[in-house]
Structures are given as structure tokens and as C-alpha cells.
Amino acid sequence: MWKRLSLRARILVLLIALVLTTIAGGVVTLWHNEAMDYLLTSLIDQNVASYHAAEELENALLQQKGYLTYYFLDGNATWLKEIERYNGAFEDWLHKARKSAYTEAMQEIIGQIDAQYHQYVIARERVITLYREGQREAGAKLHWEIRHQYVGILNLCQRYKVTHEYAISRVRTESQARARFINAFALVAMPAVAVLGVLLAYILIKQILGPIRQLAISTAPADPGRRVPDEVKALSSRVHSLIENVDQAQTELERSQEHLLQSGKLAMVGKLAAGVAHSIRNPLTSVNFRLHSLKTSLEMSPSQQDDFQVISEEIRHIDSILRNFLEFSRPPKLKMQRISPSDVVNMALVLLRYRLESYGVEMKLVRPHRLPEIWADPDQLKEVLANLLVNACEVMVNGGVITIREEENLEPPLGPAVVIRVSDNGPGIPESVRDKIFQPFFSTKEEGTGLGLSIATRIIEDHGGRLELESKQNEGATFIITLPLGKDESWATS
């Protein structure tokens, strides 16, 4: 249901939910304030307990004074027991008041009551003693004198009570004032939020979504009946499409530049190779035949045979260089057929078996399973593998290990592909020349033409794949051949 709504409808729903939530929050705030007011009132009521203790102190003091007066009048010992009972009650309430006092002023008053009360009790005991001994006049005189102590204690109790009355009144007033302020603020904020929500909806629709919608419609493919449910998504899709087009154009431009450079080099090499072929190769072939004829007809000493062998090898080397030039300038047309790259690897290993042994190289083949068949030219692929294997042998002067690993992976952007990794444990390729080794005429060998890897790269690219290098200094090198699957027969024969 939510996905079917347009972006405009989604924003409106969200805004309505925002306004409703804000109003609900205001209502909850009002309820919360009422609850807090109730809680504060409860706390105030707890403070009343201390106020009640002050009243009880005053009452116990009054009762003691009254019963002392009764004892003066009739001398009944029952009144003394009542005085003792209310004396205990006074002490209990004084202890409770001391525990409930939460300010220094309250604690100071309690301390004064305690000190003066103990003095009053001592003086009162002297009065009772005089009454018991029959010295009524002396007792009455002392009784009258301790009235000043009684009045002082009574005033302190009343002062303590007034202190609590003031504290309770102040807390209640502040609580009510804060509650009224928060309530008033909530009552003002709720309609303000509602108005702001409406304004926000207006701004989003008229000033943001409207222009975005027009831009999305103007950049979308022409389709009068098509509806734009999500302006931002449609515009984002168009922007991503434009970015992809720009990237593709940039990639194509770089490829075109590379092809132009390569075409210039190929044209130059083609002219050079044609001249070399006509001017050198035919006489060189004639010389080679004459040498072969002389070798069979002459009797030569061992040193002359060595010289003759060196001359023959140099002629073959020159002929190999000329052949590379011709292959680079006029690449042969691929003869595509269905074949497994694993079979091509086998053919290359059989072809180079004795040469690998002569270099003292150990071969390792990692093949989890036979690779599927693809459309390819087996002779050209075999030439690529042979070139990579010979190069690996030549860099490992003292022998080493070459590992061929066959894989089947998903390789973007080629898709499903077969991968052949040719790795050696030689000295590796310096970082300074890694970007140049696939360029024509670049070689690290003194007698190399610099065309082997360039021809290999072209052959793999003609198959729709890629040839890559992974290498670290002193850790060997790995050449990676990636060939795509899924090429149909019409592509292979076109």
C-alpha cells in the first residue's frame, strides 16, 4: 500500500502524522504536568508530617505545664505520671522533628528547643521536689520563674511550625506556577506546530516537489501516458543514467585514443615490416639455403663448424624478428572453433616440454576440473601461452617453478568467463615498467623485439578477453588470461 502512494502523498501522510504526534505530545505533556503536580503535592504532604510534629511538640509542652499546675493545686501524684507520659511524648516528637528537618534553620531551631527543654525539665524537677517537701511558697516562686523558659520553648515550637508553613506554601506556589507555565506553553505550541506543519507541506509541494516534478517530466523519455509517481526517484534515475552515459562516453573516448595511437604505430610498423620483408627476407632465405648446401658439401674443422652454427643461429634469429614484424603488422585472421582452454594448455605444455626441461623449470598444473568449451582459435591461444611460458623460463636463470591455474569465475564486465593464471617465482617485474610491458617495441631483453606481449594482448582482445599482470618485486609475476563464455557461433564466424 505504501509503495503505491506517490511521493507527494507520502510526504502529506508523514506531515499529518507529525502534526497528530505533536498534538498528542502536547496532551501527554498536560497530563504529565498534572501528574507532576500531584506528585509535588504528595511531597508537600510529607512535609506536613514535620509540621504536625511541631504541633505535637507544642501540645505536649502545654499538657506538661497544665498537669504541673494541677499538681500545685491538689498535690495528687497522678498528675506527675501524666507529666512523665507527656515528657516521653515530647522527646519522641522531638526526635521525629530532628529527622524531618532538612534545612540548617530547622535544625538550628530543633537544637535550641532540645537545649532549652532539658533546662526546663531540670528546673521543673526542682519545683516538683519543693512541692513534695511542703515548701509550697518556694516551689510556687520557682514555678513562676520557669514560666519564662516555658514561654521561650513554646515560641520556638511555634517558630518551627511557621517555618514549615512557609516552606510548604513556597513549594506549592512554585509548583503551581511552573505547571501553569508549561500548560500555557503547550496550549500555544500545539496550534503553532499545526500551522508550521501546514506551511511545511505547502513549501515542500509548491517549492520543492513541483520543480523536481517538472524537471523529472522534462528529462524523462517522451511518453504522454506515463505517470511520474516518484519525482525524486525518477530524477535520480535520470541523473544516474546521464552519469553512466558520460562514463561510457569517456571510456569510449579513451578507447578511441588508444586505437588511434595503436593504429599509428601499426601503420608505421606495417610500412617498415613490408619494406624489411621485401628487402631482407628473400635474400636472407637464399643465403640460408646456400649455407645449408655448403654445410653438406664442405669438410670443416670443429672450430669452423662452431662458426657455421653461430652464423645459422643468427640468420634464424633475424628471420624470427622479421616474422614477428610481419605478424604484428598483418595479424592473421582468427580461425574460431569450439574448444576447451584446458586442451590448449595441454598442447602448449607438450610443445614446450623439452624446452622447459632445458631451463630446469618445474611445471605445476592446478585444474579442479576441465574448463568448458568456448569459441577460440587454439593455435593463437597456444602461441600466447607459449610466449608467457618462454618469458617465465628466461627470467628464472637458475630454474624455478611455473604454476598454471585454471578457474571459472564471474568477471565483470565480461560476465561468466574462464581464467588461466600463469605464475612464476622469479624476480618479478619492477613497478616502473609494469605499465609499459604490453606496449609494442618495449623490451627488457637485450635481443628482444618487444612485440611478444603486445601480440599476445592483441590475440586475447580479439577473443573478447583481457590479459593482465600481477607482480611484486622479488615475488614473481602472474599473467592472467580471461576469456568470456557465452559467445555464440554467429559471433565466432563473423
| CATH (domain of 56) | 1.20.120.1730
Residue 191 lies in a domain: yes
Residue 221 included in any domain: no
Predicted local distance difference test score (pLDDT) of residue 482: 93
Task: Judge if 245 and 369 occupy the same domain.
Answer: no
Average pLDDT over residues 199-226: 67
Structural domain count, the chain: 3
pLDDT of residue 292: 67
| Same domain? 369 vs 456 | yes
Count CB-CB contacts under 10 A for residue 355: 13
Mean pLDDT, residues 301-321: 72
For 62-86, letters b (16+ CB in 10 Å) and e give ebbbebbeebbeeeeeebbebbeeb
282 and 371 co-located in one domain: no
Residues 191 and 52 in one domain: yes
Choose one of 289, 314, 330: the last residue of a domain.
Answer: 330
Could you list the residue range(s) of the whole structural domain that residue 355 is in? Answer: 332-493
| Residue 223, pLDDT above cutoff 70 | no
Residue 455 has pLDDT above 90, yes or no: no
Q: Are residues 183 and 57 in the same domain?
A: yes
Which residue, among 119, 156, 144, 133, has the nearest Cα to 68 in the 3D structure?
A: 144
Residue 162 and residue 13 share a domain? yes
Q: In sequence order, what are the residues at sequence separation of 6 or more whose Cβ sits closer than 8 angstroms to the Cβ of residue 83?
A: 64, 67, 68, 71, 124
- CATH number of the CATH domain containing 402: 3.30.565.10
Cα separation of 125 and 298, whole Å? 160
- Compute and round to an integer the Cα radius of gyration of the chain: 55
Q: Is 223 among the domain residues? A: no
pTM of the shown model: 0.40
Burial (CB count within 10 angstroms: exposed 0-12, middle 13-18, buried 19+), residue 223: exposed
Q: Which of 330, 363, 389 is the last residue of a domain?
A: 330
Looking at the fold, whether 78 and 18 belong to one and the same domain comes out as yes
pLDDT value at position 491?
38
Within-domain flag for 88: yes
Q: Is residue 224 part of a domain?
A: no
**Domain of residue 308, CATH code:** 1.10.287
Which of 52-66, 266-280, 355-369, 470-484 has the weakest average pLDDT? 266-280
Residue 489 has pLDDT above 50, yes or no: no
Stretch 349-363: mean pLDDT, rounded? Answer: 87
**Mean pLDDT, residues 215-222:** 64
Average pLDDT for the chain: 76
pLDDT level of residue 288 (50, 70, 90 thresholds): low
Q: Examine the pLDDT at 222 and tell me if it is beyond 60.
A: no
pLDDT at 33 over 80: no
Q: Does residue 78 form part of some domain?
A: yes
Least confident of 83-97, 286-300, 387-401: 286-300
Q: Is 63 in the same domain as 114?
A: yes
CB 232 within 8 A of CB 212: yes
pLDDT confidence of residue 235: 65
Q: Are residues 194 and 235 in the same domain?
A: no
In the prediction, which pLDDT does 418 show?
A: 94
Residue 24 shares a structural domain with residue 68: yes
pLDDT at 346: 93
Q: In this prediction, what percent of the chain has a pLDDT beyond 90? A: 11
Q: Are 171 and 40 in contact (CB under 8 A)?
A: yes
Residues 362 and 265 placed together within one structural domain of the fold: no
Categorize the per-residue pLDDT at 492 as very low, low, confident or very high, splitting at 50, 70 and 90.
very low
Q: Which of 203, 221, 238 is the last residue of a domain?
A: 203
pLDDT, tens only, 118-156? 888 888 888 888 888 878 788 788 888 888 888 888 888
Mean pLDDT, to the nearest integer, of 482-492? 62
Please indicate, yes or no, whether residues 278 and 336 belong to a single structural domain of this protein. Answer: no
Within-domain flag for 212:
no
- Is 131 a domain residue? yes
At 420 the pLDDT is 94
